[in-house]
Amino acid sequence: MIGVLVVLAITAASVVITIQRTTQRFVQPVSDMTSDLSTQVARILHPTPTILPDPVTIINQIRPLARLETIQYTVEKVVTAEIGQGAFAALLGDRLLFVGHGYVTAGVDLQNLGSQDFVFENDILKVKLPNAEIFDATLDNDKSYVYDRRTGLLTHGDINLETTARQAAEDLIRQAALDDGILAQAQANAETFIESLLNKLGYSQVLFIHPEK
């Protein structure tokens, strides 16, 4: 009797093990399928966002800059202004030497930028950027002065001569900055600044297009 019970016990254990292994073979694929289905459902309910930059929103970031000043020159010019320097200069002449110290500021005016000036294609943002221009060319009155003035024996001098010298100094300071390439430097600085701003907004490639002068 004991031998029969042992045989039955071993047989039962074998049957249980066989059933467990068979169950595992069927349950595992179902479990894997359920896991995959859960992952797919999760992706549908919580999709990974795709970022598509919209060039139109850039206007709101750039427009507040309006006149983007990107460079300033400090220039000093010496101007000679004179009147009545003919044969009677010693009597009626007027001559002064004026030292003009001033500043020339240049940059790009962004006020008129519109959505049509931004084109995004082939992962490249093309920006139609205005040409650089001079915003101000002014004298520093605290540093500008009349170095020397000589008037004739019979005159107190022309009251407008210093004003004329100042106006000429401003024009010369402006021209000196232009001759030194201030506009090209202002344009390059503006592009560097704006490209950095656009990179931070998500545009890794930026191409600047300039209108014909």
Alpha carbon distance 7, 175 (integer Å): 114
Rounded to 5 degrees, φ, ψ at 104 are -125, 120
43 pLDDT tier (thresholds 50, 70, 90): low
Mapping DSSP to helix (H, G, I), strand (E, B) and coil, where does residue 1 land? coil
- Mean pLDDT, the chain, as a whole number? 76
DSSP state of 204: -
Rounded to 5 degrees, φ, ψ at 87 are -65, -25
Q: Are residues 130 and 163 in the same domain?
A: yes
Alpha carbon distance 89, 153 (integer Å): 9
Unique residue bearing structure tokens 């016990």:
9
Q: Are residues 107 and 90 in the same domain?
A: yes
Residue 24: pLDDT above 50?
no
Give residue 7's domain range.
Answer: 1-50
Q: Are residues 68 and 135 in the same domain?
A: yes
- Of 153, 147, 145, 110, give the one whose Cα is nearest residue 128: 110
Structural domain count, the chain:
2
Q: Which residue has the higher pLDDT, 141 or 40?
A: 141
Q: Are residues 129 and 173 in the same domain?
A: yes
Tokens at 46, concatenated: 């919580």
Query: Could you please report the per-residue DSSP string of 60-87?
Result: HHHGGG-EEEEEEEEEEEEEEEEE--ST
Q: Are residues 203 and 119 in the same domain?
A: yes
89 pLDDT tier (thresholds 50, 70, 90): low
93 pLDDT tier (thresholds 50, 70, 90): low
63 pLDDT tier (thresholds 50, 70, 90): low
Rounded to 5 degrees, φ, ψ at 80 are -105, 120
DSSP state of 46: S
pLDDT digits over 127-173, tens only?
A: 999 999 999 999 999 999 998 888 766 666 677 888 999 999 999 99
Q: Are residues 6 and 84 in the same domain?
A: no
pLDDT digits over 176-197, tens only?
A: 999 999 999 999 999 999 999 8
Q: Please list the alpha-helical segments (H only) found in 134-181.
A: 161-179
Q: Are residues 62 and 148 in the same domain?
A: yes
Q: Are residues 179 and 103 in the same domain?
A: yes
Residue 33: pLDDT above 80?
no
Pairing between strand 94-109 and 124-128?
A: unpaired
Q: Are residues 72 and 158 in the same domain?
A: yes
